[in-house]
């Protein structure tokens, strides 16, 4: 039986930069860092990437985790700097926050780029921005604890 989502994986050209972003701005803690040199048959098979090699980190914020990879082999294809959220694949990471406007101000001051100012609708206030690799990040604040869509 499937229990829940354990983590989401992201690929980055700069692992240390991504760790700093998610640790320093979002409060993630680094649970583990690990390296897989090219030439591990089991890893090659699992990821379906012959000769795969990478450095990676598993980060945790409360019950949520992300795994960030910096692949050394094979040579990764760069994604567009701002892949559109309608394009197939991972569209965004969403973080439920206590105060969207305060987080928007704090993260903007730290250099995070947002699409627009926070918007209000459907019992929530939300905004989309980008991490250093162009991945879309949503911040959402629900109007009340009784909102059935709020994480508990």
**pLDDT tens, position by position, 110-138:** 999 999 999 998 899 999 999 999 999 99
pLDDT at 90 (0 to 100):
84
pLDDT at 146 (0 to 100):
84
Domain tally for the chain?
2
Q: Could you list the residue range(s) of the whole structural domain that residue 136 is in?
A: 93-142
Q: In this structure, is residue 108 part of a structural domain?
A: yes
What pLDDT, in 10s, does the model give residues 78-96?
888 788 889 878 889 999 9
Q: pLDDT class for 149, splitting at 50, 70, 90? A: confident
pLDDT at 124 (0 to 100):
93
% of the chain with per-residue pLDDT over 70: 100
In this structure, the answer to whether residues 113 and 64 fall within a common structural domain is no
Q: In this structure, is residue 86 part of a structural domain?
A: no
Q: In this structure, is residue 2 part of a structural domain?
A: no
- DSSP string of the chain? -------EEEE-S-HHHHHHIIIIIT--EEEEEEEE-S--HHHHHHHT-TT-EEEEEEEEETTEEEEEEEEEESPPPPPPTT--TTSSS---EEEE-S-HHHHHHHHHHTT-EESSS-EEETTEEEEEEE-TT--EEEEEEESSTT-TTS--
In this structure, the answer to whether residues 53 and 12 fall within a common structural domain is yes
Q: In this structure, is residue 66 part of a structural domain?
A: yes
Q: In this structure, is residue 81 part of a structural domain?
A: no
In this structure, the answer to whether residues 107 and 67 fall within a common structural domain is no
CATH number of domain containing 132: 3.10.180.10
């Amino acid at each position: 039986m499937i229990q829940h989502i354990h983590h989401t994986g992201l690929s980055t050209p700069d692992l240390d930069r991504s760790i700093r972003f998610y640790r320093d701005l979002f409060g993630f803690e680094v649970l583990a860092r690990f390296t897989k040199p090219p030439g591990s048959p089991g890893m090659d098979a699992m990821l379906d990437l012959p000769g795969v090699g990478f450095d990676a980190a598993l980060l945790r914020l409360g019950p949520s985790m992300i795994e960030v990879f910096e692949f050394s082999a094979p040579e990764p294809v760069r994604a567009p700097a701002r892949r559109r959220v309608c394009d197939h694949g991972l569209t965004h990471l969403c973080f439920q926050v206590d105060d969207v406007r305060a987080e928007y101000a704090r993260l903007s001051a730290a250099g995070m780029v947002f699409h627009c100012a926070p918007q209000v609708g459907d019992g929530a206030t939300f905004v989309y921005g980008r991490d250093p690799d162009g991945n879309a990040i949503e911040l959402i604040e629900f109007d009340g604890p009784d909102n059935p869509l709020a994480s508990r």
